[in-house]
Structure 1
């Protein structure tokens, strides 16, 4: 079997700021998947939870690709209890090839940060997305097209973007992972091509000359720049046809891997139906940290705001105290994104 070919498809999965925190060891019909903890050092990735979710998206993609090519993938999560970086072992066995509805969406799936058309979500599209979330054994995926829950999720998204420009560590991580030219994007094949941010010309100039420098941002925040950015985010998020929330039943590492699988399932389903999609996991991860009291490198006044946003989301979206927030997303209709994030070849040993 062509394991390397399957892995080439699997690494098309999303990861936080396109960090791609994985490496692989292969032996005959087996793949061992390992986390690279130094790839994502962001505040969001407390205890590697964001990276584990990225591994879940990768494993979901690998499972779909294997089934399309006539192999069943048996996945064991964290098989080596002494090594938390050994995320999974996948054993393949031959089976009858079957067409996988989401397989064709794998190379098409991408982040679209554009302003979406203010258009109602077609009923068939809403039903398809809800079916993925309701039928899942991995967690819950909920879709909101209007009402208090819709507004609460939009508020959470704008709060995250404001904090990014008020928190030195989040700011530094973001700008370390922006690729400022086509040449740099092709050279590193990770991070985010600046064009994927879909910035208007004046905003791109500000990003390049001013906002990338923390000292300048601190001064500009006295003039309310971070709040202006958040206001733009709020308007952009509300342009979507629907907002969504993905939760998990627990907060163990394996729960985050399963949650990442659900993220990819929902995203591929949206892509399959021609919908634009923008994952905003940061807002959910920060709210969950505030909920658990585990926030690190987050100012107390930001934690207080995040706790308030968390309560609002849980109340309006009917989320239990025991459920874990994993990701917020928006989906709808827009023109194609200006650029796509690139991928490194899989590291196989």
Structure 2
């Protein structure tokens, strides 16, 4: 190993191991290193500590390698709660923006929406911001139950939208677990899959496990593979949703403000793209018209999936958005445990006129009858859309901000 550059606090290294049949120079932003990767050995951050070595877990450089063995059983209450938050920061988020911050007070954890990481163009109504916060909250509750903490959460206790939740955590010898214990080990295995999906269908038994993720009233999933529906066949539904996705892509990718925002996040390495490719993608988004190519790619990805799903709620407010994030997190963890791939496709919800059409599409008779049991207004508010199925696994997890960076 030899150092090839040093600039400020960033250090670069080349790692070699004998003669490499194929070499790829790769920048790993979360490790701040240049590395030559041996593709023949299929090295990936997901399966290695650092450069393929199983080094000790370090929350600053190996967040995905967190292990329950490192729980500080003899540590202080603050140290233990900080460790629980090591699982919160692994939650999914819109554009991997990780828009959350935490504050520990005695036996309580405050969870804040980090408005500095709000995608003001793509997520103008901040729905995805709060769904992301809900995912982080759910990971905290899952980890808390695993390590023997009873929990009580209060949503927006101060009446302002910056403080999304306060969680009171009480260690107990025996607690009543409200969540599937199997969720915990899936937290560090979960990832978003951007690959083309296989055509094989999802068994009804596995769909039933997704429906079991709903602990809250007033939420449900609408899936194209769970018909028949009165107004549409499954194929008609899929193509109708594809039309909406295609139109949303066309609107967004020709919007200069949107592509500039997307380019910024690509340039930050938020998607786990190697540094050089991230910068190339940033330049392409900034200076080239990629609308047709990206729209075609999104259509191929969507139509390849055996199930296109909308997570919807009977209310549309900040609390319901956070709770929708909690449900989506449980769905993602369930899918991971079943060997399934999941990929949010939120652009259909990011363009107001397209979102309105999706809402109309969801208001088929069966859905309206189901909602009527919950609220007399028969409202249908789509909160998250995603494709579900089977695919080749992603090679790497997306990078994560160090825990210390999100503590206030």
Give the TM-score of the pair, scaled to structure 2: 0.69
Task: String of CA shifts for 1:13-48, please: whole Å, max 9, x gaps.
Answer: 111111111111112211111121121233232343
| 1:15 aligns with one of 90, 93, 99 | 93
Q: Secondary structure at the match of 1:43?
A: coil
Task: String of CA shifts for 1:295-344, please: whole Å, max 9, x gaps.
Answer: xxxxxxxx3x5544543344488367622111111111111113321111
1:194 alignment partner in structure 2: 273
CA distance in 1, matches of 2:383, 2:84: 27
2:344 alignment partner in structure 1: 279
Provide structure 1 residue ranges, at least 5 long, that are not aligned to the other structure: 186-190, 197-203, 218-224, 291-302
CA distance in 2, matches of 1:128, 1:306: 27
| 1:49 aligns with one of 127, 131, 134 | 127
Question: Structure 1 residue 212 and structure 2 residue 285: aligned?
Answer: yes
Alignment of 1:207-286 (within 5 A): 208=281, 211-214=284-287, 216-217=288-289, 226-286=291-351
Q: Secondary structure at the match of 2:116?
A: coil
Q: Secondary structure at the match of 1:45?
A: coil
2:199 alignment partner in structure 1: 118
Task: Give the direction of change, closer, same or farther, for the CA distance of 1:138–1:109 in structure 2 (3 Å limit).
Answer: farther
Alignment of 1:25-174 (within 5 A): 25-81=103-159, 83-95=160-172, 96=174, 100-133=181-214, 136-137=216-217, 139-145=219-225, 146-174=234-262
1:295 alignment partner in structure 2: none
Task: String of CA shifts for 1:127-182, please: whole Å, max 9, x gaps.
Answer: 2123325x543611232223433333333333332223111122111111114xxx
Tell me how far 1:101 sits from its aligned partner.
1.7
Task: String of CA shifts for 1:73-122, please: whole Å, max 9, x gaps.
Answer: 211001112x3211111101123266712111111111001001111113
CA distance in 2, matches of 1:31, 1:50: 22
Task: Give the direction of change, closer, same or farther, for the CA distance of 1:92–1:309 in structure 2 (3 Å limit).
Answer: closer
Report which of the two structures shows the higher radius of gyration computed on alpha carbons. Answer: 2
Task: Give the direction of change, closer, same or farther, for the CA distance of 1:40–1:316 in structure 2 (3 Å limit).
Answer: farther
Q: Secondary structure at the match of 2:367?
A: coil
Contact 1:119/1:333 (8 A) holds in 2:
yes
Contact 1:282/1:327 (8 A) holds in 2:
no
Q: Secondary structure at the match of 2:212?
A: helix
Task: Give the direction of change, closer, same or farther, for the CA distance of 1:21–1:229 in structure 2 (3 Å limit).
Answer: closer
Higher relative contact order (CA 8 A, sep 6+): 1
Q: Which moved more, 1:24-33 or 1:123-132?
A: 123-132
Alpha-carbon RMSD: 2.7
Provide structure 2 residue ranges, at least 5 long, that are not aligned to the other structure: 1-76, 226-233, 372-377
Q: Which moved more, 1:4-13 or 1:168-177?
A: 168-177
Contact 2:266/2:282 (8 A) holds in 1:
no
Contact 1:21/1:37 (8 A) holds in 2:
yes
Aligned residues: 307
Q: Secondary structure at the match of 2:308?
A: strand
Task: Give the direction of change, closer, same or farther, for the CA distance of 1:151–1:72 in structure 2 (3 Å limit).
Answer: farther
Q: Secondary structure at the match of 1:212?
A: helix
